[in-house]
Every structure is written in structure tokens, then in C-alpha cells.
Copies of this chain bind each other. A is one copy, B any other.
Amino acid sequence: MKPSAGEVFSGDDAAVLIPPAGPLLLAIDLVVEGVHFDLSLGSLADAGWKAIAVNVSDIAAMGGRPLHVVAGVSAPPETDLDEVTDGLLEACDAYGVALVGGDLTSGDRLVLSVAITGTCDGRNAVLRSGARPGDVIWVTGMLGASAAGLELLRGAAGAVAGSAASGAGGADEDAPPGSAGGTPSELVRAYRRPAARVREGSAAAASSATAMIDVSDGLSQDLDHIATESRVGIRLTSVPIVTGATLEQALGGGEDYELVFTAPEDADVVEAFKTAGLEAPIRIGACSEDATERLLGGEALRVSGWEHSFRRTR
């Protein structure tokens, strides 16, 4: 993407940007080798893609449209930086985002750090804190694909070192009846090249979503963030599990980057998605009055994971 008049992209101390009027969204996400990706299970370009996609997903989860990214790369000297850049730029192209600057430094592990700006184009941002008791909980797609893809890749790597996962099967045995979706190659792609749901986030915002988050840590933990910030309880009636994944992967695997959002019972959610040319989201439960409640069916929903914030611990 080219700078507009008055804009300056890469090559100076900072980029000079002319964002649209109104509030600016700003987020940062790191993608670390050995934590968020494994170079024996995906390429450097996949890592670059992921670093952009997870940031675009943060903007999508606000109901926003991504504008600009800056990318910091710390890499061992032998790293093929062109391949990393290819992945960064492929994802930028896919989401209509401009890569406007960066920082490149050495390091003994590959770390990709991307910061992103976005706009809500005059609408209010959809926060995590706006859900109300009685609101319906929706998710934009089936869950567990990324975790199942990772397991397929690990199995394949174990069976034939360095081979692709195309022949890896067997994980289907764990899939509950009624689940739908992923072929092995789709699952592997969900891990290597996760998709950010920008249009879905925008449709959710247009359909009066009261709270929204992207499924990065896992549905149970991400819903817990909404519940905690909104002071509501959670009663799930179902979990949409992609074919080839387990309930545990759908609930706790994370990195699916589907959006989970809440909206009043009378909001025309399905219609808003249809109008935008999108598949209808899936209704998975409702928010309750009791802010401590976390239920799936009649049973306790286990919430696990870890905090990503700068709150002090002492």
C-alpha cells in the first residue's frame, strides 16, 4: 500500500500517518519462536503471517478496521528475513493494512513484534465490558482447528521427521457427533495461517454487539475476560467443535481467532451477518446475573490460562 499525500512510511525515525477522523485503536502482539510458533512445523513466512493476523484480530475484536502496522523483528543472523517479510506482507495485503515501519535487530530466537492501528469509522468500539445479563453469546465459527492442526503437525513430525501432515489422520476419532468443518489440511492451515475476522467483527458491531473478544487464549478463558470485565455470568449451551478437534481443544486450545461476542436477544445478529454476505454466527449461550457463574450445560466450565497484562503483582 502506498502513502497518501502528506504521509511518510518506512525509512525515517517514525512514520507520518493521516488516519481517518475519530478515535484511534492501538494494540501490540508478540509472536515468539518456541512459544507461538515452531519453525519445524511451519515456515518463516507463516510466522510473519501470524504476527500480522493476530494483531489484525485485535482490531477486529473491537469492531474496527485495521489501518497501519509497524513490525519489530529480532532474529538470529542466519534467518532468511526476506521470507519473514514475505509473510508479513502477504498478510498485510490480505487485510488491506499498510506496513509503515519497523525495526530489525539480532537475537538468538526469532521474535516478531507487531503494533497496529485501526479505526471504528465513526462507530463505538466494542469493548469487553459491555455485556449485560440476558445477552446472547455468539461465536463466528467452529473452534479447535488451530490446536488440532498443531497436534496433527506434531504427530506427523514424530512419525516422519520433516514430512508434511497431509497423511496424518486419526484425530477424527475424538470429534463428537454433530461437529463439522476441518479436513487435515484445513486444520494445519488454521495453525499456520490463522485468519482474522475483520468483516465478522464489523458485522457484529453493526448488529449491536455489547462486548467482543477474539479467541486467542481459548474460548473458556476469553469468555471469562468478557464475564469479568462486564460483571456477568456465563451459561454456555453448546461449543461448536470443528471436525478433527476435541472439546478440550475447542474450549482451551486458543489461537482460533474466531470472535466471540454478546448481543441483546432482540438484536438482528443473523440478519446483519447475512447482509454483509457472511455465514451466520453460532449461538452458544447467554449471560447471566450471577457474575461468578461459569457453566457449560449444567456443569462447571473450567477456566485456565494466564494473564497478558501489566497489572502489578506486588
Show the binding face of A for B, using Cβ within 8 Å. 6-8, 10-19, 21, 23-30, 32, 34-36, 57-59, 61-62, 64, 68, 70-74, 81-82, 85, 88, 99-109, 111, 113, 115-118, 125, 127-129, 212-214, 229, 307-310, 312-314
A113 and B114 alpha carbons, distance in the complex (Å): 9
Q: Are B310 and A71 in contact (CB under 8 A)?
A: yes
With both beta carbons as reference points, the residue of chain B lying nearest to A113 in the complex is identified as: B113
Q: Are A14 and B118 in contact (CB under 8 A)?
A: yes
A15 and B61 alpha carbons, distance in the complex (Å): 11
A126 and B4 alpha carbons, distance in the complex (Å): 18
Kindly provide the distance from the CB of A290 to the nearest chain B CB, expressed in whole angstroms.
22
Q: Are A309 and B102 in contact (CB under 8 A)?
A: yes
With both beta carbons as reference points, the residue of chain B lying nearest to A24 in the complex is identified as: B17
Q: Are A17 and B23 in contact (CB under 8 A)?
A: yes
Report how many copies the assembly holds: 2
A108 and B25 alpha carbons, distance in the complex (Å): 30
Q: List 24 A-B contacts (CB under 8 A).
A: A8-B125, A11-B309, A12-B128, A16-B24, A16-B62, A17-B24, A17-B25, A26-B68, A26-B70, A26-B101, A29-B72, A29-B103, A32-B107, A34-B107, A34-B108, A35-B105, A70-B115, A85-B310, A88-B310, A102-B308, A104-B310, A105-B308, A107-B109, A115-B115
Kindly provide the distance from the CB of A7 to the nearest chain B CB, expressed in whole angstroms.
8
Residue in B30, B88, B99, B105 whose CB lies within 8 Å of A105: B30
A11-B229, A125-B8, A313-B82 as given contacts; A24 in contact with B18, CB under 8 Å? yes
Q: Known pairs A14-B118, A82-B313, A111-B113. 18 more at Cβ < 8 A? A: A6-B23, A10-B309, A13-B62, A13-B128, A14-B125, A15-B25, A17-B23, A19-B19, A19-B24, A24-B24, A26-B100, A28-B72, A30-B73, A30-B105, A34-B107, A35-B106, A108-B109, A113-B115
A18 and B19 alpha carbons, distance in the complex (Å): 11
Kindly provide the distance from the CB of A309 to the nearest chain B CB, expressed in whole angstroms.
6
A82 and B312 alpha carbons, distance in the complex (Å): 6
Q: Which residues does chain B contribute within 8 Å of A12, judged by CB atoms?
A: 62, 125, 127-129, 229
With both beta carbons as reference points, the residue of chain B lying nearest to A99 in the complex is identified as: B310
Q: Which residues does chain B contribute within 8 Å of A127, judged by CB atoms?
A: 8, 12, 16
Residue in B30, B64, B101 whose CB lies within 8 Å of A72: B30
A119 and B68 alpha carbons, distance in the complex (Å): 16
Kindly provide the distance from the CB of A239 to the nearest chain B CB, expressed in whole angstroms.
21
A105 and B129 alpha carbons, distance in the complex (Å): 23
With both beta carbons as reference points, the residue of chain B lying nearest to A108 in the complex is identified as: B109
Q: Are B13 and A214 in contact (CB under 8 A)?
A: yes
Q: Are A105 and B25 in contact (CB under 8 A)?
A: no
Kindly provide the distance from the CB of A222 to the nearest chain B CB, expressed in whole angstroms.
10
Q: Which residues does chain B contribute within 8 Å of A85, judged by CB atoms?
A: 310, 312
Q: Which residues does chain B contribute within 8 Å of A61, judged by CB atoms?
A: 13-14
Kindly provide the distance from the CB of A263 to the nearest chain B CB, expressed in whole angstroms.
17
Q: Which residues does chain B contribute within 8 Å of A308, judged by CB atoms?
A: 102-105
Q: Residue among A30, A71, A85, A213 with the most chain B CB within 10 A?
A: A30
